[in-house]
Chains A and B, each alone.
Chain A
């Protein structure tokens, strides 16, 4: 069990640029989640995949955000035309079933200059 891995750990970019993050879940987990966590807050749900299907999206996920999980394995989260308010830690988690504990990655910290 290698755990959930996220890449990169840190991303610094200028406002208006596009960024893409990658998440590799635990291999036998069919559920994958993306969260955003800002300083002093708990994780906020962004979106959820079961296998390759994106089944739920939060209203926080504006049209500048898109997520994919093309083969039901790794997932990518892309943010287009980044804004200052996008600065946050982006967490990925996976689980083997609903109501099962989620296993989190280390997160990708995004800083917008």
Chain B
């Protein structure tokens, strides 16, 4: 079974600084997709970034980038120049190429300190 582990229940970062959120996953598949979702308090979950496992290049979306280490089954999210609006729960998610289920981690609560 696929599992997604986020070992940091809470993280904090000073505004304008950089923070990295960790995610590891367990799978026997070789082709799959990984996602980071953001869930602000009492608001919708929204996609932050997506990575296809067959691509070696790390995905980047503006201030958000990932460090995808396929052999280590690690998928960390780096947020640069942190802003107050980045404060939220961040969930790492896994989806195998031929599957319909998304598997989510338990989340990391990010606090941005002004």
A→B interface (CB under 8 Å): 3-4, 31, 33, 40-45, 48, 55-56, 58, 91, 93, 98-99, 101-107
Q: Which of B46, B52, B98, B104 has the most CB of A within 10 A?
A: B104
A-B pairs with beta carbons under 8 A, tally: 53
**0/1 interface trace, chain B 51-94, chain A, CB 8 Å (1 if under):** 01000000000000000000000000000000000000001010
A105 and B12 alpha carbons, distance in the complex (Å)? 27
Per DSSP, are chain A's interface residues mostly helix, strand or loop, or mixed?
loop
Q: Is the CB of A56 within 8 A of B45?
A: no
Q: Contacts A42-B106, A101-B35: A91 and B45 contacting too (C-beta < 8 A)?
A: yes
- Is B30 interfacial (CB 8 A cutoff)? no
Residues in A with CB closer than 8 Å to B52 are 99
Q: A3-B44, A42-B91, A58-B101 are in contact. List 7 more A-B contacts (CB 8 A).
A: A43-B102, A45-B103, A56-B100, A56-B101, A91-B45, A101-B47, A102-B47
29 contacts between A and B (CB under 8 A): A31-B100, A33-B100, A40-B106, A40-B107, A41-B107, A42-B93, A42-B104, A42-B105, A42-B107, A43-B45, A44-B104, A45-B103, A48-B100, A48-B101, A55-B100, A56-B100, A91-B45, A98-B99, A98-B100, A99-B33, A99-B52, A99-B95, A99-B97, A101-B50, A102-B102, A104-B44, A104-B46, A105-B44, A106-B44
